[in-house]
A and B are shown apart, each in its own frame.
Chain A
Amino acid sequence: MNERIAGTEIEQLIQLLARLPGLGPRSARRAVLHLIKKKEGLMMPLAAAMQRAVDAVTVCAECGNVDTRSPCSICTDPRRKDNPMLIVVEDVADLWALERAGIGPVRYHVLGGVLSPLDGVGPDDLSIDRLIARAPQFSEIVLAVNATVEGQTTAHYITDKLEHSGIRITRLAHGVPVGGELDYLDEGTLAQAMKARTSL
């Protein structure tokens, strides 16, 4: 039987931290011990920062990004305002990944997932209607969803919805990743890469 080794407050903190991605009970315990040791230098500023974030974080009503204001800083960025390209992503992590890649001053739309019959996610659970409403502002919509069966079903669903809009609908290329060795790639990706080959 597990014996409690610390007070309720500390145990609760360990349990909550253990629920974070990448952390288990052992690593959560180490993190809590570290926080306790650095109470003033780390624990208190962290608690204050988390409280501020809890108070301020909101979902952008326009694109679905998370920020401390709505419309978010991306939607209100004047450099992006006249860009005719909209990039559709599954979730905020993908938006951040594209921003890190420095693809330019584009605007985004976060779907909030993909169509997944297994998880019971249907078109009404995603922000597809909002995307259809925003679409006429753009001349190109890039469907940057994952190259999975569910991701591409979602992409085709959106394409069907925008079929008669006259907007150019594109998707990201599928193929060999930078640093990828052909020998280790799956046959399907290789076949797609071969189909999408370009002239040098």
Chain B
Amino acid sequence: MQWSGDGLIIGVRKHGETSVIVEAVVWGRGRHLGLVRGGRSTRMAAILQPGNSVHLTWRARLDEHLGVYTVELDKPRAAALISDREALYTTQLLCAHLRLLPERDPHDRLLEMATTILDGDFNALGRAQILSFFELALLDELGFGLDLSACAVSGATKGLAYVSPKSGRAVTAEAGQQYLDRLLPLPAYFGDRSTASLADILQGFRLTGHFLQMHVWEPRNLEPPPVRDQLLAKLQDRASGAVNSPSESKP
């Protein structure tokens, strides 16, 4: 068995004294693991960093085997990331999210979003906003997508302001009046894809976090990635004016 493809490295685990098991998300193939012999060498360690795009060739005798990867660097990102705290947290969070995907099941939409986030010239706010969309898409790809198209009570498509914490369906402000203490606020940008304020983005993360916890982390006995909390804490600092990034002026 052999195939070649491009992918994004999302994790590297030591195997023996000289090798590593690389976890990558490959276009058209999904999350795929493989052994890289000599992967702990100085030269290969620089290539095999989460966030780097690589060209992979996978070989195995049988399809169900782990197989061996041959890796060539396509787009190095790790070196640039390690000096930018929020970009580094974002990359780690994206990798943690992509590791939730089932093995060998293509999810090109998420890979495309991930590479857009990694390569895009966003300011911190823009990056956080698209990251919250990524979490929404992740829920969808895992089969727990939220239905934000119409109100679960009235069927109305306008004035959606809340989400049911159980069903994940949108509710209008009017229909949700009597359940306010139980409903989750729906940030407007999830519906109209407009530019969001920091408070809205944090609201968006609270919403996706609730459903990730309910459908993904808790059933799999996982803790939310600590880096998600760190990233949200940085955003909250920004909201309270404690952090003033020089990249704030970017569009």
Interface residues, chain A, with chain B CB atoms under 8 Å away: 21-22, 115, 117-119, 122-123, 147-150, 152-153, 156-157, 159-160, 174, 184, 186-189, 191-192, 195
Give chain A residues whose Cβ lies under 8 Å from the Cβ of B223: 122
Q: How many Cβ-Cβ contacts under 8 Å join chain A to chain B?
A: 82
Is the beta-carbon distance between B89 and A115 smaller than 8 angstroms?
no
Is the beta-carbon distance between A118 and B23 smaller than 8 angstroms?
yes
* Complexed CA–CA distance, A188 and B45 (Å): 12
Is the beta-carbon distance between B17 and A149 smaller than 8 angstroms?
no
Give chain B residues whose Cβ lies under 8 Å from the Cβ of A184: 43
Interface residues, chain B, with chain A CB atoms under 8 Å away: 11-13, 17, 23, 43, 45-47, 49-51, 73, 76-83, 85, 88-89, 91-92, 95-96, 99, 223, 225-227, 230, 233-234
Is the beta-carbon distance between B91 and A22 smaller than 8 angstroms?
no
Instruction: Given A153-B227, A160-B230, answer yes or no on A186-B43 (Cβ-Cβ < 8 Å).
Output: yes
Give chain B residues whose Cβ lies under 8 Å from the Cβ of A21: 17
Give chain A residues whose Cβ lies under 8 Å from the Cβ of B225: 117
Among B46, B79, B230: residue with most chain A CB under 10 A: B79
Is the beta-carbon distance between A117 and B79 smaller than 8 angstroms?
no
Is the beta-carbon distance between A156 and B89 smaller than 8 angstroms?
yes
Is the beta-carbon distance between A117 and B46 smaller than 8 angstroms?
no
Is the beta-carbon distance between A118 and B11 smaller than 8 angstroms?
yes
Chain A interface mostly helix, strand, loop or mixed? helix
Instruction: Given A122-B226, A188-B80, A191-B79, answer yes or no on A153-B88 (Cβ-Cβ < 8 Å).
Output: yes
Among B43, B47, B51, B83: residue with most chain A CB under 10 A: B83
Is the beta-carbon distance between A149 and B43 smaller than 8 angstroms?
no
In the assembled complex, how far is the CB of residue B94 from the closest CB belonging to chain A, in whole angstroms?
A: 11
* Complexed CA–CA distance, A12 and B52 (Å): 44
Instruction: Given A153-B227, A156-B89, answer yes or no on A192-B83 (Cβ-Cβ < 8 Å).
Output: yes
Instruction: Given A174-B79, A186-B43, answer yes or no on A119-B88 (Cβ-Cβ < 8 Å).
Output: no
In the assembled complex, how far is the CB of residue A2 from the closest CB belonging to chain B, in whole angstroms?
A: 21
Give chain B residues whose Cβ lies under 8 Å from the Cβ of A195: 83
Is the beta-carbon distance between B227 and A192 smaller than 8 angstroms?
no
